[in-house]
Structure 1
Amino acid sequence: MTVIPSSPPRAISHTMFEQPSKDYRANKIFRHMSREEIEALAPSIEQRSYGKGEMILQRRDQDGGVYLLLDGLLLANQYAKSGREVGYRRITPGGYFGEISAIDGLPRSANIVAIEDSRLARLPQSSVRRLFEDSPRFMRALLEDMAGLTRSLTDRLFELTAVSVACRVDIEILRLAAANSEDGQTGVIHPCPTHAELAALLGSQREPVTRELNRLASLEIVRQTGRTLHVLDLAALAAEIERIGGEV
């Protein structure tokens, strides 16, 4: 299983620079733009590859631009002085990051770490600024996504202060499984976050997360095989969340 470092990883200097390909076009930030607008960005986009565990950006970096995830899996996190990790969100292919610093010009607000080998495309700050001024369709997608992120963080803040760790685990598993459900009844999470990663995302420790996943397995609601977590009954998981004090 993927292991998230328990202390801040160091930036690795062997990042590879490659010629850009056209698969950046599928990123959700371009979803409202015309083909011509998207194609015009090709000369300014550069691809970068990172290995598992490599630090892509560090909090307070001055590096500008927006990064688009083509392949792999990333974690946005931060470390307290005590070494405790706080996870903010996972970033999956088709997602992006860096838009906040691109907007306000301030340093990065979180670390971005590759938790799998990952391939990204970087849209430089100069190109992002031109899109701010010239592309209402780009801005529409950006504003929609920032509204969605705000709602998500509001929900997480409420959960962190109002419901138990067990309930937070169940809610997160339901979110991930529902996003990967073909029939609305079952779901598959692959790769499943490690227990340490879930703990960082949920403001907890690994042991309570493990206990809750074991409890769900004993109820035959989930089954884990390697890095894949099968949610066998989404409705039963939702009912369990309601039973122990959460909201679906």
Structure 2
Amino acid sequence: MAADPEIVEALGRTDLFSGLGRKHLTAIASQARLVHHAEGKDITEQGGGAAGFHLIKEGNASVHVNGQDRPGLGPGDYFGEISMIDGQPRSATVHAETEMTTISIPSWSFHPILEEEPEVAKVLLKVLCARLRAVESAR
């Protein structure tokens, strides 16, 4: 499947994928699809299965962890990356506050890219380590 240049660009603007070159972004984008979510829908449920990654193209979502509100999400924000990478249950419930369109990558399409392209895994590890360091320094 050919990659949509708009999706390639959108993925490249995220901190998660910004360290990747065009070749790798195109490989990831070729597995992505646009998904429309109705207002009021729970896109992910905390503790639920790890279906994949979502980059918000249009719309707004609320986030809840253990019943507590977290900062909302809007265009350019993403969720589902942790479960997409580690295959573990979702760490939050994400609820569509408006109609939404996301660029979605199923985990079963992403894992082969990690296996075939070690550079992608290296970049993701660096981003996740930076996040961990930021959390630790805030304590």
CA distance in 2, matches of 1:150, 1:33: 21
CA distance in 2, matches of 1:65, 1:75: 18
Q: Relative to structure 1, is the Cα distance of residues 24 and 138 closer, same or farther in structure 2, using a 3 angstrom cutoff?
A: farther
Question: What's the CA shift for 1:127?
Answer: 2.9
Pick from 64, 78, 86: which aligns with 1:104?
86
Pick from 116, 130, 137: which aligns with 1:147?
130
Tell me the alpha carbon deviations over residues 60-106 of structure 1, each in whole angstroms, 9 at most, x when there is no partner: 21142211221222222135xxxxx4123322322221122123322
Question: What's the CA shift for 1:38?
Answer: 1.9
Aligned to 2:48: 61
Name the aligned partner's letter for residue 101 of structure 1: S
Aligned to 1:37: 24
Aligned to 1:72: 59
CA distance in 1, matches of 2:54, 2:7: 10
Higher percent of residues as strand: 2
TM-score in terms of structure 2 length = 0.73
Q: Relative to structure 1, is the Cα distance of residues 107 and 22 closer, same or farther in structure 2, using a 3 angstrom cutoff?
A: same
Q: Relative to structure 1, is the Cα distance of residues 148 and 119 closer, same or farther in structure 2, using a 3 angstrom cutoff?
A: same
Query: Any gaps of 5 or more consecutive residues in structure 1?
Result: 1-19, 80-84, 159-248
Query: Any gaps of 5 or more consecutive residues in structure 2?
Result: none
Matches within 5 A, 1:1-248: 21-25=4-8, 26-27=10-11, 28=14, 29-78=16-65, 85-133=67-115, 134-137=117-120, 139-141=122-124, 143-144=126-127, 147-148=130-131, 151=134, 155=138
RMSD: 2.8
Q: Relative to structure 1, is the Cα distance of residues 113 and 47 closer, same or farther in structure 2, using a 3 angstrom cutoff?
A: same
Q: Relative to structure 1, is the Cα distance of residues 119 and 145 closer, same or farther in structure 2, using a 3 angstrom cutoff?
A: farther
Q: Relative to structure 1, is the Cα distance of residues 42 and 103 closer, same or farther in structure 2, using a 3 angstrom cutoff?
A: closer
Contact 2:60-2:73 within 8 A present in 1 as well: yes
Work out the percentage of aligned pairs sharing the same amino acid: 24
Count of matched residue positions in the alignment of Structure 1 and Structure 2: 132
**Structure 1 moving runs of 4+ over 6 Å:** none
Name the aligned partner's letter for residue 148 of structure 1: R
Tell me the alpha carbon deviations over residues 117-165 of structure 1, each in whole angstroms, 9 at most, x when there is no partner: 211011111332233331424642563256337635974xx6xxxxxxx
CA distance in 2, matches of 1:31, 1:129: 19
